[in-house]
Amino acid sequence: MSQALRKLTAHISKSKACTVFINQIREKVGIVYGNPETTTGGRALKFYSSIRIEVRRSEAIKQGTNHIGNRTKAKIVKNKVAPPFKLAEFDIMFGTGISKEGDLLDIATAVGIVQKSGSWYSYEGERMGQGRENAKEYIKNNQEFCSLLETKLREIFKEKDDKDNNKEEA
């Protein structure tokens, strides 16, 4: 692997391509301290990579008894181009991919646009649904509301980004 990466690095850089390696985890036997998990293929891939992301399924998303998706956690393990150790959680729905509605709901709840009271989600006093899946369905069925939510979130994060840029200039 080390010899191959040594030869590939120059070609990848010249072509300005993004190369993605997918690997699996193995467990080292007899490790008492530290993480016993390791990736296969030696250590070269760890050294040559610019960004390493650890992706794990955290829980199953079910509709009744049917398994319709997975809640997924992605942790930045190594990053040479930005701060490492950030964590992202998102839903991967079977047949459709990453759930935009789930992301909008999570972020809007975190910044206070959508209120959560018990298991009920509401926006400006109007109830969206009981439970996360029902609230996601509400967003999915109301495209006007979906675009409104997205616009508000973009405004909030643009303002935050502008404030951060002004602090750096000062």
For the chain, the average pLDDT equals 91
Q: What is the structure's pLDDT at 169?
A: 67
Convert the pLDDT of each residue in 115-143 to its tens digit.
999 999 999 989 999 999 999 999 999 99
Is it the case that residue 163 has pLDDT exceeding 80? no
Tell me the CATH number for domain 99-170. 3.30.250.10
SS3 annotation, the chain: CHHHHHHHHHHHHHHCCCCCCCCCEEECCCCCCCCCEEECCCCHHHHHCCEEEEEEEEEEEEECCEEEEEEEEEEEEEECCCCCCCEEEEEEECCCEECHHHHHHHHHHHHCCCEEECCEEEECCEEEEECHHHHHHHHHHCHHHHHHHHHHHHHHHHHHHHHHHHHHHC
Cite the residue boundaries of each domain of the chain with CATH code 3.30.250.10: 99-170
Convert the pLDDT of each residue in 55-76 to its tens digit.
999 999 998 899 999 999 999 9
- Give the predicted TM-score (pTM) of the model: 0.78
